[in-house]
Amino acid sequence: MVDSIDKAREEFFSEAQEIIETFSRNLLALDAAISEGVKDPTLVNEAFRAVHTLKGLAGLFGAVAMGTLSHHLEDLLDELRLGRAELTRTVLDLLFGAIDVFGKILAAERSGSEAMPPGLDELVGRLRELGGSVAPEAGMVTDYELDPGMLAVLTEYEEHRLRSNLEQGLRLYRLHVKFDLATLDKALEEIKDRAKRHGEIITYLPTGESSSIETIELDLLMASHDDLSILIGALASDRIIVEEIERKPLVPAAFSSRTHPPVVPESVLSVPSGHPRPGEEAADLALVSPDRSLRSLTQTVRVDIRKLDRLMNIVGELAIVRNVLSRIAERVRAEGQPQISSELLRVHRNFERRLTEMQDGILEVRMVPLGQVFERLSRVVRQISRELDKEIRFVITGSETEIDKLIVEELSDPLMHMIRNSIDHGIEDTAERARVGKPAAGTIALNAFQKGNHVVIEIEDDGRGIDENALMQKALRLGKIDLTDREQLSREEVLSLIFLPGVSTRERADDVSGRGVGMDVVKTNIGHLGGVIDVQSEPGIGTKMTITLPITLAIVSALLVRVGEQVFAIPLNSVSEALAFDGRGVRVVDGRELMGLRGQSLPLCRLARVLGLPDDSTSGRKFVVVATVGTRRLGILVDYLIGQQDIVIKPLGKTLAEVRGFSGATELGDQNVGLVLDPGALIEEVLLSGESVREKGLRAHG
Amino acid sequence: MLRILLVEDSQSMRAFVSASVEQGAAELGEVELIQAASGFDALRLLPRGRYDLVISDINMPDINGLELLNFIRANEKYRALPVLLISTQSSEKDRQRGLALGATAFLAKPFSSEQLVAAVRAALDGAS
């Protein structure tokens, strides 16, 4: 039972996160609206609603800091919503600031900390200063022939909305609609959509006397700047009646009389024809199973991604069942029962097809649009450009591109860091840009698209480009390269020096980029996601970083290799190259085999030996697969390179889980199961005792 | 067994109410909680089953709790159904309107599991 409260608490954190993201989206839209000189009261309203909900939830789940902040934000947004305070840039900056504080609060409260995050007090103080005094609202609402029944069911919030619409001089309309219950949502979405162009629907009032259990009648209260004739043309149909609510000539106190019983507006009391007799209703009721109605209830569910992982594992298990099935079919055929065998094979094929569909289905569920993280980035761009006083045009394309939820979560930090770098080091200051004839605003383009089983994200700026000379100097000073390297490195290799530890880290810490996180960390983080990162740069023209990621973590691209009779898969993101190997040039140092590779030592690992497989190390041609993880490298000796394949990694059973060097097993499509190597663990394993070798031989070449 | 229709647009709030009702099993007995994520869902669910109680948040987009309550009270079939409204502490006006419309009981946010169970109890008792 305590569990379910904990679960509710977990739900709360995800919901809070979502609400904060919605809030942030609203602010970005408001920012854009201000830039275009447009006022959009609905956006402020939505922001208010988001914060209002958050406040309620925070109270329920005892999230004190979140409650405090949302409470003060709500006050300010209420003022803004009702036009008592003006939404200026300063106010907007303050609101944006709240999002960061929310982030910190969420992180702290999630981990159970009760400490107030830094910056909260100051923010609350500034919010207090901005929120003006609450003036009593004018009594405009009562000037209308509004049904008291309709007014009695407005929440305080809806009444605010009604009032602010009237204050702007809009007219009021009543839309009487009749819809099928089953398609209610769709019908209302549609009418909402059409009404949006003409004004705002303030509330939906279901009327008491519904004519049948399959239909529902509603009165919609709408404020609009348009005439009745326009609205009739735009909205009316046989199911929608539009009426104008007239202004009263005098002002009787209809609304303030609480003794007035809630009544259904007159216009809906007339029962439409086709109203079933009570007997018929009862019959209808009995025919509808309650299960059916419950199933049709919710359109979305929130699922823990680990549950999807488990489903994916089951798909892996089923793949093995499928293979057994096909083997049995072959055995049956061999035993002289071709008919049963072909029947079995048919079942097998069917099974295989469905299994593929299931796998695709599960993968699809994990996918979320990159837009989620891109939105957060626009906020960062806005913030940094103001801090550094650089004008930035941030152009996003492809935010609808979908990728594994787990990857999206991890992408935000690396992308943020890269964008910080671009603004800070890439984009020149305004004076400099004017001097070289570039437009005053620097452009940073974030572009995403799908390419086969991969998603490519490009970050391109039109700044000064990477200073190759400075990069090389820094690498030299840090001992990452030596003078001979300096002569030999290609341009591409020089640029990729930026990914070596220490090279991209600033010596002087500043507010924006110098936080000790270098491009090496970015590369490592992208690597953890199975991705790679490339850099291109032209002096004076700009820099482009390209990240290539797998679409999902559940499937990885791998190099399949054979050792003896066994097939192994090596994740491609850690393979830097593969070479033919003839056994020459191998030295033994401290009992470890090393080979020379372009002037550096590469430790070797004979997979057969590690696994205790028969090792015919003397005979024939072999291959070395060079695996790179971070700055360490290892040459893995294999008999044969089979090729590249996308594989689903399945965890190892208990018996094998203890063996280091493998991350799981995979089903190879030709009824074989292969082990998936974990190059990182394998490197650790092989080099554990070879400290001296590690020092000398394992420095990445760049 | 009690059948309760919960109308609430926030998922974590629904989860919290669900957990609280579960926790209050000693006092309430076995409860089947049918969850509606919006006023529209509630309108669809109402004719499709028998309920002993409706718990509804007041502040919801589109159809709010007061409108739902008004619908229930104006409809002969549901008129006798007890309705527990969840309100915001700050809004006395919403509470007043809820009372005028015939709400059976109120619960102000924020509340604890125990307070919810007590309010459910009160709403059921008040109705009988």
A160 is catalytic: no
Q: Are B4 and B31 in contact (CB under 8 A)?
A: yes
Residue A278 pLDDT greater than 50, yes or no? no
Record: contact B69-A153, CB cut-off 8 A: yes
At A471-492, the pLDDT tens digits run 888 888 887 777 777 777 778 7
Lowest mean pLDDT among A71-75, A533-537, A586-590: A586-590
Residue B57 pLDDT greater than 90, yes or no? yes
- In this prediction, residue A293 carries a pLDDT of 38
Amino acid at A536: Q
Disruptive mutation site among A7, A156, A275 for chain B (greatest number of B CBs within 10 Å) = A156
Residue A311 pLDDT greater than 70, yes or no? yes
Average pLDDT score over chain A: 77
A421 is catalytic: yes
Q: Which of residues 31-50 of B touch A (CB under 8 A)?
A: 34-37, 39-41, 43-45, 47-49
- In this prediction, residue A273 carries a pLDDT of 37
Burial of A461 (0-12, 13-18, 19+ CB in 10 A): buried
If pLDDT is split at 50, 70 and 90, which confidence band does B127 have?
Answer: low
- In this prediction, residue A407 carries a pLDDT of 86
At B42-51, the pLDDT tens digits run 988 888 889 9
If pLDDT is split at 50, 70 and 90, which confidence band does A543 have?
Answer: very high
If pLDDT is split at 50, 70 and 90, which confidence band does A696 have?
Answer: very low
Residue A453 pLDDT greater than 60, yes or no? yes
Residue B67 pLDDT greater than 80, yes or no? yes
Q: Write the DSSP string, A386-427.
A: HHHT--EEEEEE-TT-EEEHHHHHHHHHHHHHHHHHIIIIIS
Residue A527 pLDDT greater than 90, yes or no? no
Structure tokens at A546: 């390209």
A52 is catalytic: yes
Nearest to A213 among B47, B66, B71 (CB): B47
If pLDDT is split at 50, 70 and 90, which confidence band does A463 have?
Answer: very high
Q: Report the gap between the CA of B109 and the closest CA in chain A (Å).
A: 6
Please give the residue of chain A at the shortest CA–CA distance from B69. Answer: A153
Residue B90 pLDDT greater than 50, yes or no? yes
Residue A242 pLDDT greater than 60, yes or no? yes
- The catalytically annotated residue of A26, A323, A421, A573 is A421
At A114-163, the pLDDT tens digits run 677 777 888 888 887 775 544 444 455 656 667 666 777 887 777 877 88
CA dihedral B19, B22, B27, B33 (to 10 degrees): 100
Phi then psi for residue B45, to 5 deg, are: -80, -30
Percent of chain A residues topping a pLDDT of 90 = 7
- In this prediction, residue A256 carries a pLDDT of 37
Q: Is A631 in CB contact (< 8 Å) with chain B? A: no
Nearest to A15 among B11, B19, B41 (CB): B11
Disruptive mutation site among A6, A10, A11 for chain B (greatest number of B CBs within 10 Å) = A11
Residue B85 pLDDT greater than 90, yes or no? yes
User: What is the mean pLDDT of the segment spanning A67-89?
Assistant: 83
Q: Report the gap between the CA of A94 and the closest CA in chain B (Å).
A: 25
Q: Which residues in A lie closer than 8 A to residue B80 (C-beta atoms)?
A: none
User: What is the mean pLDDT of the segment spanning A280-305?
Assistant: 46
Residue B84 Cα distances to A188, B63, B123, angstroms: 27, 16, 6
Nearest to A290 among B18, B49, B101 (CB): B49
| Separation between Cα atoms, residue B128 and residue B124, nearest integer Å | 6
- In this prediction, residue A143 carries a pLDDT of 63
Record: contact B101-A7, CB cut-off 8 A: no
Q: Report the gap between the CA of A411 and the closest CA in chain B (Å).
A: 26
User: Where are the extended beta strands (E) located within A227-302?
Assistant: 240-245
Record: contact B67-A258, CB cut-off 8 A: no
Q: Are A127 and A73 in contact (CB under 8 A)?
A: yes
- In this prediction, residue A515 carries a pLDDT of 44
Would strands A367-369 and A199-206 be described as parallel, antiparallel, or unpaired? unpaired
Residue A247 pLDDT greater than 90, yes or no? no
User: What is the mean pLDDT of the segment spanning A69-83?
Assistant: 84
Q: Report the gap between the CA of B41 and the closest CA in chain A (Å).
A: 6
- In this prediction, residue A610 carries a pLDDT of 74
Lowest mean pLDDT among A9-18, A184-193, A220-229: A184-193
Amino acid at A671: Q
Among A34-48, A239-253, B12-26, the range with the most confident prediction by mean pLDDT is: B12-26
Q: Which residues in A lie closer than 8 A to residue B20 (C-beta atoms)?
A: 5
Half-sphere CA count of A535, side-chain side, radius 13 A? 27
Percent of chain A residues topping a pLDDT of 70 = 81
Structure tokens at A197: 């162009």
User: What is the mean pLDDT of the segment spanning B93-98?
Assistant: 85
Residue A33 Cα distances to A30, A41, A69, A373, B64, angstroms: 5, 11, 25, 21, 29
- In this prediction, residue B69 carries a pLDDT of 92
- In this prediction, residue A487 carries a pLDDT of 73
Residue with more model confidence, B107 or A484: B107
If pLDDT is split at 50, 70 and 90, which confidence band does A495 have?
Answer: confident
* Residue owning tokens 């490197």: A683
Residue A468 pLDDT greater than 90, yes or no? no
Among A118-122, A194-198, B39-43, the range with the most confident prediction by mean pLDDT is: B39-43
Lowest mean pLDDT among A32-46, A291-305, A396-410, B11-25: A291-305
At A249-277, the pLDDT tens digits run 443 333 333 333 433 333 333 333 333 43
Residue A81 DSSP SS3: helix
Burial of A386 (0-12, 13-18, 19+ CB in 10 A): middle
- In this prediction, residue A690 carries a pLDDT of 41
| Separation between Cα atoms, residue B49 and residue A289, nearest integer Å | 8
Record: contact B11-A56, CB cut-off 8 A: no
Residue A312 Cα distances to A317, A319, A356, A366, A452, angstroms: 9, 11, 11, 11, 21
Provide the number of CB pairs (under 8 Å) joining chain A to chain B. Answer: 164
